[in-house]
Structure formats: structure tokens, C-alpha cells
Structure 1
Amino acid sequence: MYVRKVREKLRKENAMKSDPILRRHLPETYPYTSVTARKMIRKYPSLFIKPNRGSQGKGIIRLRRLHYRKIQISWGLQHREIPRKKAVQAVQRLMKPKRTYLIQQGLELAKYKNRIFDIRVYMQKPASKWFISGKVVRVAVQGRFLTNYSQGATPKTVEEVFSSIYKNQPKIASQKINRINALCLALARTMDRKFPGIRELGIDVGVDRKGYIWIIEANTAPQFNTFKSLSNKTMYKRIISRRRTIYS
């Protein structure tokens, strides 16, 4: 079976923006230019600069406003404080020549045990219908700004994390999970219309400190080792089973 991959983040971003409901859940994102960077530095407390083609968090740069005159620039495991007026030049020195980048609004993500997290929703289309094959929370290493499993994040179940952050509020936790499911199914159908032939999606979902749900990114060649690390292998086995159908 032919399985399509879409590597460029900006193409996928534009596809998602075409849906008015999804658009409300997308962080502000643009192709990187120095002019756009200066505007967004003034507008948001934090920003992410990402390679247009890339995975596993490689090459991502974060800018975080410390106060009016200073910005922290982070890449890999390194952090440096720089004058705000020199932020754009500092970013451009870290960029690889001939690569295109995007710039994205940073989010104030909710925390689990004082560590930020996001949710990887693994979607598959083994025949004519999209299914959510699994959801896993990726809890970042203390002090790190990326939640990728390849960057050392700890996998947890959605139920475990949501029952912790929404203590004694099981109804709200359930509503959040249902809303995430609905958004991801809508996203899969939108992407399918724009890019016929995609069969798998790894959707990264964030919940901010106010409880708002954000769609951070969608990947058409998602990794699934995070699911293998959970003690319950049900979701991992489901993903493998459906992949056999997809790639048969």
C-alpha cells in the first residue's frame, strides 16, 4: 500500500490552518524571517525556532524573555543570556545555512510534578477510517524545554497525568481527553483531504496552564517507541498490528 509522508512542517501547518476550528488551537506560526522574529519577540514571552524539515527535537532553538532587556536563548542542553536587541543575530548564528525554519509562539504548558509535558496522539488509517491507536504523555526532563522521547522525556499514561493535575475533577479530565480526541480526528480528516495517501499521524498536543488545548505539530512519519516503554503494551501492540495492515 502506498503511504505518503509530508516532511515540511510549514506545508502541514498551512493545511491545518485551512480548518477554522483547528486554527483556533494552533500556536501562531510563520516562516522564519528576521523581521517576523523581531515582531514576535515583542509579542510573546517565549518563542521556538524549528527547522522546516526535522524530527526528534533536533535543531530547535528557544527564546525566552527574562525581562525587558534580556532574553535567554536555548539550544540542545545549552542556555545563554543575551541582550534582547542581539537575539535575532544570535539565532541566525545557530541556524544551518541553506535550511529553512519556522518561528512559533511559545506556550506556557501545564506541569506534572513540576515538569512540562505534552501528549503524543498516534493516529492510523489502516483502511478507510482514521483511528486513535494510542495516546501517551511525554514528561520533559527537569529543566529541559523539549518533551521528545529522544530528548529523555518520561512516558506516562494520559489518565495518570490528568488525574494528578485535575485532582477531584474527573469530569473535567474526561472532557479534556474527549476534546483532544475530537480535535485529533478532525485534524486527521483535514490532513487526509490535503495530502491523500497519508496513513499515520503523530499529533503533538499541549495543554497550557489555563487548561486550553493546543495542537503543536503533526508528523506523518511518527515514532512509536514511547508506547513500547509503557508497562501496559496494549497501545503499542495495536499500533504494530495496524502498521502491518498499512504497510502490507
Structure 2
Amino acid sequence: MFQNYKNLSGYYLSLNSVIHKLNPQVKLICMILLMSGLLINYNLVIILMYSLVLLPAYQIAKIPLTVLYNSFKPLIWIIFFSSVAHLFTTPGEPLLSIGFLSLTVEGIQKSLILSTRLILIIGFTMLTSLTTSPVNLVEAISSLLKPFSWLRLPVNQFSLMLSLSLRFLPVIYEEAERIKKSQVARGANFSSWSLKSKVNNVVSIIIPMIYSAIIRADDLAIAMEIRGFKIGEKRTRLKETRFNFIDLVILILTIIIFIITFFL
């Protein structure tokens, strides 16, 4: 039941690849640039160019196809229904009419472009999460947001909150599965198609899970306080990330691709 959400959120794969070794800040900047380029462009040639960037990147990162498939599986129906909606709701030259719905040439083009864009955006997001540990990802976000601290925004507190949230995700998944198994042992039927049964099953999991999360959060707050944690205090990092030549090359190539987006 909760496995699909686990796949959707992405998880770090500790592998030995060039992309895994890239500076987390560089990976995050590249992801933002590539996603921005996709969002502002409707040119099919540009979208295909981004595809030629993403597919080799997964090969270089040594990410198995099964992992990629499991990550996309929860979103297949969303992509499908979004594509179908654009097929029959986009005005243009009709190819086929079914009642008040018309399949148009423009609809086919728009459906293809938007679905491909969505797949690529998800793909770049997954690539970043699969090749960057949660700790490094949070540190990269914190570093990029650091200039906003001059505006007296609580960047450090936000980074801490994000870090704790990412660390809690696996715990919540495990807790949900444990509660589900406990409910099955008590006679709950999670395979029933009845709406009332489904609502009752969800409630029987959500309420204990929220209670457990509150208890864990309270225990964590006490543990942090015992260890001397204070909000607003300056903290150092266990490992400092460095910017090397490969990071520079990847960043320059990404910027070039982003600039090309505006001229094609």
C-alpha cells in the first residue's frame, strides 16, 4: 500500500559513479536549470535534446532500469489521464470525432509534448534524489538559500526542518507497514473494493501513525535538547563539499543547454 509512495519520493542509491561524486550544489543547480528549461519551452526538438541528456545520465549513474520503473509506476496513470485530456480538449484540425469530443492534430502534439515534459521533469528530480544522500541534499539546499539569511529569513531552521523530515520518511513508511500488518492480524481486509471499507482501513492506519509520529517527534526534541541544541546557534558541518573541475564542466554544459533553450 505504501510502497508506491516510497518509490515516488525517491531514495538514495549508494553507487560509485561520476554523478554520485558531483558536488550536491552543482547537481541541484543543474536540476533547477534543466527543469526550468523544460517548463518554459514547448519545442519538441528541445524536449528531445533534454531526453538525450537524461538517458545517458542514468546510464552514467549506473541506476538499474527496475529502480527507474518503480519510481515512475505511481505516476503512470497521472501521465496517461493528462495526455488523454489534452488529446480531446485541445482545439484545432479534427481527425476523429466521438460525440462532443474531437481528436485534433494540435491535441496529439500538445499531449506528446506535455507528457514527455512531465516524464523528463520527474526523471531529473529522481536522478538528483537517487544520486545524492539526504544529508548532502539538505546541505546543498541550505547553501543555496544562505544569501537569504541576510534578509533575516530562518534558513538554518528551514534546513534543519527539511533534514529531519527526510530522515523521518523511512521511519514513517516502516511504521505504516507495521500498523497495516497489525490491522491485518486483527482481521482488517485491505483487498476490499468497498468505499466504506477503504475509508475505515485508511483511518485505522492514519490515526495510529499520526500518534506514533508525534511521540517520535517529542522524543527527538528531548534528545536534541539534552545534547545542547539551541535554535539560532552557528553550526559546523561534518564534511565540507568541494568544487572540482568535473563540477565546473557539468555546470557549464548545463548552462549552455539552458541558453540554447531560448534560441530554438
Q: TM-score range by the shorter chain?
A: under 0.3
Query: Normalization by structure 2: what TM-score?
Result: 0.25
Query: Normalization by structure 1: what TM-score?
Result: 0.26
- Structure number with higher relative contact order (C-alpha < 8 Å, ≥ 6 residues apart): 2
Q: Which structure shows the higher strand fraction?
A: 1
Structure having the higher Rg: 2
